[in-house]
Structure 1
Amino acid sequence: MVNGPASEAPLPGAVGLSHLSPYDWEAADGVCGGSPHLHLVCTEAYVVTGGHGAVQTLSPDGHRDVPLRPGTVAWFTPGTVHRMVQGDGLRITVLMQNSGLPEAGDAVFTFPPEVLADPGRYAAAATLPPGTGPETEAAARRRRDLAVEGYLPLRAALVAGDGGPYREFQRAAARLVRDRVPRWRELWRAGALAAAERTGAQLDALADGDLTHLGEAAAYRAEPSRLGGFGMCGRRDEYALPGVTVPYGGE
């Protein structure tokens, strides 16, 4: 058994992994939970391991409130605004596509339009101080509240049949991250694409009767590298796994 993160073996498919407990802070609408946001190129999945709650989503088919309970698996594709809602002791394992690329910036909060229009102002509002102390907690709560402030009008418009504000938010999000695309492409090539290409090479080898890669068989394990960090949706336990990107924005 080889202990991570010293190993060079990523998780299957080069996915990112973390454990999450949604915030129990009450927001302006009386709901306890995380910071609404979307991803531009990554699908994200929640595997519920304890408690109950919900995830609120905004997408072209409207607003949904998806109940979460142990055993539920919920996932959402790029462009879906999602807001984690705490019920009672909700605990989730989060699987992130593309080597955890969402933690390298593929996440844009639903801040009000005037914040989204100013990259400097957006970065200041989105970035947390390092650590897990009171200063970081206060900044995470301010960030959550600002995201909810922008989210509620998007949801109200979509419920009323007006998808314009939601689509404009998507456009603003794409403008904010455009300059990061070259770096994201590097991470994708080194992670998810490389994992798929390794499988292709192994299939070719098997077809030729070459079993060399089976001689490199090994098992691995890893423990959390940080407990209780302040993530986008809640308190987050994370892993320094091979091929997984570093935490985003001081989370």
Structure 2
Amino acid sequence: MVSKAQLPHPLPGAVGLSHLSAYDWEAADGMCGGSPHLHTVCTEAYVVTGGRGAVQTLTSDGYRQTDLQAGSVAWFTPGTVHRMVQRDALKVTVLMQNSGLPEAGDAIFTFPTEILADPERYAAAAALPGKEGPAVEAATRERRDLAIEGYLALREALEAGDNGPFLDFQRAAARLVRSRVPQWQELWQAGALATARRTGRQLAALAAGDPSHLAEAAVHTAEPTRHDGYGMCGRRQEYELSGTTLPYYGE
């Protein structure tokens, strides 16, 4: 279990933060970018800080492409398949709900159905052999291409008016993460829920005329703990803000 003593003071709302430079690797459909995936419990936001690109999304209502440029903000709720597309030096600051949960495997790639049906095959296809080097880059590209294969099949079905394969993918994603939920509940209780409860206590204190919590005012800073890591969508500047040592599976 994650104790409060293990957690630094969280970012506002207990969100996670990273900076991304979207991949410029061309995929099978001629587009450049990252690995399509969804999050099972976390809303994600892109704050575009430079360049141009797009985010392609799939929901049960169909396919959509949203253009991105400096100043754009786009966010998507759990269950939305999203694919970051690179056009011209796209750079994005990513904000993730429930810091700690994405790092613990909240994201699921759009791999072909036969891989999604086998947890061991899925884990092997999603894993990388390390953090840096040519072998890691090659494995990241292979993982991206496998996710694109499944994604294009889902998009084709949706564009034909059939959302069945997409709903099947969401169900497969839920099955893959089910065993992790107890760990996620602990992380949520120690992070996002604890943050909301702290606000509740502060509001109650102010209503009672008690400003004593203001005496605990403090400034917190952080530097990237890893530069140019291989994420799902691009090279990442990562911040370890959740106080955990979980492997990173997120953007």
Give the TM-score, by structure 1 length.
Answer: 0.94
1:231–1:211 Cα change, 3 Å: same
| Match status 1:83 vs 2:83 | yes
Counterparts of 1:242 and 1:44, CA distance in 2:
16
Give the aligned partner of residue 208 of structure 2.
208
Q: Closer, same or farther in 2 for the Cα pair 1:14/1:77, shift >3 Å?
A: same
Structure 1 unaligned residues grouped into runs of 5+: 1-5
Give the Å deviation of 1:100.
Answer: 4.2
Matching residue of 1:49: 49
CA offset digits 1:101-134 (Å, max 9, x no partner):
2221001000000000110000000011222211
Is 1:154 aligned to 2:154, yes or no? yes
- Relative to the length of structure 2, the TM-score reads 0.94
CA root-mean-square deviation: 1.6
Report the AA paired with residue 146 of structure 2. L
Query: Does the 8 Å CA contact 1:15/1:244 hold for their aligned counterparts?
Result: no
Structure 2, gaps ≥5 residues long = 1-5
Paired residue type of 1:35: S
Contact 2:100/2:187 (CA < 8 Å) preserved in 1?
no
1:162 partner SS: coil
Counterpart of 1:98, as a letter, is N
Aligned length: 246
When residues 193 and 179 of structure 1 are mapped into structure 2, their CA distance, relative to the original with a 3 A threshold, is same
Spell out the pairing of 1:55-94 with structure 2 (5 A cutoff): 55-94=55-94
4+ residue runs of structure 1 moved beyond 6 angstroms?
none
Aligned with 2:32: secondary structure?
Answer: coil
Paired residue secondary structure (1:220): coil
Distance 1:131 1:250, change over 3 A: farther
Cα separation, 2, equivalents of 1:7 and 1:192: 11
Given residue 31 of structure 1, which amino acid in structure 2 is its aligned partner?
M
Alpha-carbon separation, structure 1, partners of 2:229 and 2:191: 24
Q: CA offset at residue 97 of structure 1?
A: 0.3
2:220 is equivalent to residue 223 of structure 1? no
What residue identity is the alignment partner of 1:16?
G
1:241 equivalent to 2:241? Answer: yes
Q: What CA distance in whole angstroms lies between the structure 2 residues aligned with 1:245 and 1:91?
A: 26
